[in-house]
Structure 1
Amino acid sequence: MTSVVSGTAATTGPCATGAPRAPLRWRAAGRLAAALPDIRGRDRVTGWVRGTPRFTGPLRGRLTNGMVFELPDCRDGSVRDLVELCYRPPALAGVFDTVLRPGDCCYDVGANIGVYTLWAAGAVGPTGQVHAFEPVPEPRAVLTALAARNGLTQVRPTAAAVGSTAGTVRLRLHPGASGLTHQVPPGSVVSPADAAVLTVPATTLDRHAARHRRPDLIKIDVEGFELDVLLGATELLRAHRPAVLLEMLPSHLTRRGDQARGKLIDVLARAGYRLFNLTRRGLADEGEFTANVLALHPGWARFDPVVAALHRTPFPRNQTT
C-alpha cells in the first residue's frame, strides 16, 4: 500500500506507531466485518465479537487508503468506527473514487469527524480542495486533528451548518454519538436550559460557492435535513451541476416533515437531475430508494463514464460508515 500521507510510503497494515492500538476484540470484529459476505446478520455477529465498549483510548491506526489516525480518546462512537475502517473502506468510498479526480473540489456537508473528508482528500490530492462543513466543535476538532496529522492542506474545515438560508440553527446533540446530531425542526420549543441543544451559525451552499471553489461532488448527511441543504443550493445545482451524494432515510426525513422526501426529489428533478440507488449489485435507477442515493445531471461532462463505472460497483447493505 502506498500512503497518501505527506507523500511518504506506508507499511501495509492497519497500525501506526505511537498510541496503543484498539483492543483485540475490536480488531477481530473489524477483520471479521471485512471478511464476511454482505448478508443479514453480519452486523449482529461483528457486534457480538466487538462486545460492549469499555476502552476509552487513546486510539491509533491506519485506514485502507493510507490515512492515519492517533486520537486521545474514543468515547464517541464515530471514533470507534475508525477501527473497522482499518480493514475495509467506508461504505460509500466507491462514489468518491469514481467521481473525484486529482485537482477536484468536494463539499462534505455534515462531515462529523471527517471519514469521508479524508477519503475525498486522498482522491483530489494536494491540488484539490475538500470543504468540510461541521458546526459541532468536538467532532470538528477531531476532523481538524486528522487533517493535520496527515498533512492534508487541501482540507478546509468550516464551522457552520448548511441549510436553506444563512443565519443560525439549533442542533440536537447526542453525547457519545456525534453521528446522530441533527437540526431541531423550526418552530420546536426548546428549554433555554437544555444542554443537549446547541445554536450554531448556518450558511447556504450557494453563498459558500460564490466565495470559494465550486464543487464537483457534494456529499450531504445531515440526519433528515438534506432538503434544506438542497434548497440553499439551487443556483449551484442549476449552473454547475455537481454530483450529489445524499442520505435519504425515511425515518430521518420525517424530522423535516411528512412531505420532505417528495419535496427533495422534486428539487433535484426540477434541476434536471436523475436519482440512482446504490445497491449490492451496483448503481440502479429503479426500485425502492436505498439508504443513500446519487444524483447526477445528464448534462454533466462525466455522466456517462461515472454511471458506467458505478453500474459495476457493489455497495454494502449497511451504508452508515
Structure 2
Amino acid sequence: MNLLSTRQKIFIAKCAHRFVKAWRRLRGLPSKAEFTRGGLRWMLDLNEGIDFSIFLLGSFEPDAVRCYEARLRPGDVAIDIGANIGAHTLHLARVVGPEGKVLAFEPTAYAHAKLRANLALNPELVPRVTLRQLLLMDTPGAAVPETICSGWPLTKEEGLHPEHLGMPHTTAGAGASTLDEAVEAAGVGRIAFVKLDVDGHELSVLRGATKTLRASRPVILIELCPHVCVEHGYPFSDLVQCITGLGYRFETFNGRALPDDPAALEKLIPAKGGINVLALPR
C-alpha cells in the first residue's frame, strides 16, 4: 500500500512535472496534446495531475488497473463512480469487451467534458460506456453542491483545497440520483465491479446503493481517506461500518486481509492521505 499523504504525492508529481515540462518546452512541444498510453488514445493536459500520471506511467493508478484487469471478464458490467476524465472508465471498457458495459458517473462539467472527449478518441469503446453527469447520493433529487474538486493542477493556482490540493470545478448541468435508481434506469444485468472514489461522498453513495450491492454483490474498489470523511461531516467509522454492514470485508490488491475494526484500519492509512482497497463480499 502507498503510505504517502496526498500532499507528498502531489509534491513528487510536481518535481517530475518540472523536468518533463522543461524538456517539452525545449523541443517546442505543447502541454496539451493527444497521446497513446495503455493501448488507448487520450487528450491530456500535462499540467493536470491525473493527466500527467497517465502520460508518465501509462495509466492513472496502475496497480488499480492491474487489479480489475485480473478480476473482470468479457461481458461483465462495471461501474465507475467519480469517473473524472475517464482514467479508469476507458480501461474498464477495454477489459469488459464489446459485450460488456460500463456505467460512468461524473458530476463536474470540467471532468465530464474531458471524459467525453477521451471516449470519442476511442470510438470502439463508445457503445460500451453509458456516461452520465450525475452526483450519486443517498437521496434522489437532492441539492448538488455548486462546485466539487475534480482537478489537481501541478502548476501554481489559487483556490485549491487546503489538504488534498484539488481544484473546485462547477457542477453546472449535473443532476443527483441514487446508484440504485441509476442502475435501474440503465437496465443492465448483474454488476460485477464498482470503482468508488468521490473524495468524501462515499458514505452517501453507498447508502443510496444498498439494493444494487445486495442484489449483485460486486467487488468494490474504494479509496479509504479518513480525513475527507471528517471534512464531509461524518466519522471514518461510519463508512467502514456501512461497508461491513452490507456483508463486505476489506483486502489489499495483493490479497492481504485488512481489519474490519475502523480504528485498526485507520492506523494503516497515512495521515492526510488515503489508500485504495478492495471490499469483497463475504
Work out the number of aligned pairs and report it: 243
Q: Does 1:295 align with 2:263?
A: no
Pairing of 1:45-60 with structure 2 (within 5 A) = 47-51=14-18, 57-60=31-34
CA distance in 2, matches of 1:272, 1:92: 22
User: Residue deviations 1:80-104, cap 9 Å, x none?
Assistant: 3321133787231122112211011
Deviation at 1:118, TM superposition (A): 1.0
Q: Give percent identity, aligned residues only.
A: 31
Aligned residues of 1:109 and 1:133 also touching (Cα < 8 A): yes
Q: Gaps (5+ residues) in structure 2?
A: 154-158, 162-167, 260-264, 270-274
Tell me the secondary structure at the aligned position of residue 202 of structure 1.
strand
CA distance in 1, matches of 2:42, 2:114: 10
Aligned residues of 1:76 and 1:175 also touching (Cα < 8 A): no
RMSD between superposed Cα atoms in Å: 3.2
Q: Which residue of 1 aligns with 2:97?
A: 125
Match of 1:218 among 194, 201, 226: 194
Tell me the secondary structure at the aligned position of residue 126 of structure 1.
coil
Q: Which residue of 2 aligns with 1:160?
A: 134
Distance 1:205 1:90, change over 3 A: same
Name which one, 1 or 2, has greater alpha-carbon Rg: 1
Q: Gaps (5+ residues) in structure 1?
A: 1-37, 183-194, 299-321
Q: TM-score, normalised by structure 1?
A: 0.66
User: Which structure has more RCO (C-alpha within 8 Å, separation ≥ 6)?
Assistant: 2
Deviation at 1:121, TM superposition (A): 0.8
Match of 1:207 among 181, 185, 195: 181
Q: Which residue of 2 aligns with 1:70?
A: 43
CA distance in 2, matches of 1:251, 1:209: 29
Q: Which residue of 1 aligns with 2:225?
A: 249
Aligned residues of 2:107 and 2:175 also touching (Cα < 8 A): yes
Q: Match for 2:32: what amino acid? A: P
Distance 1:39 1:232, change over 3 A: closer
Aligned residues of 1:61 and 1:86 also touching (Cα < 8 A): no
Distance 1:207 1:92, change over 3 A: same
Aligned residues of 1:173 and 1:181 also touching (Cα < 8 A): no
Q: Which residue of 2 aligns with 1:263?
A: 238
User: Residue deviations 1:198-239, cap 9 Å, x none?
Assistant: 463111111112222142111110001111110001111112
Pairing of 1:77-226 with structure 2 (within 5 A) = 77-86=49-58, 90-151=62-123, 152=125, 153-167=127-141, 168-174=143-149, 176-177=151-152, 198=171, 200-212=174-186, 213=188, 214-226=190-202
User: Residue deviations 1:259-283, cap 9 Å, x none?
Assistant: 2x212222222221111134xxx22
Q: TM-score, normalised by structure 2?
A: 0.75
Deviation at 1:148, TM superposition (A): 1.5
Aligned residues of 1:77 and 1:177 also touching (Cα < 8 A): yes
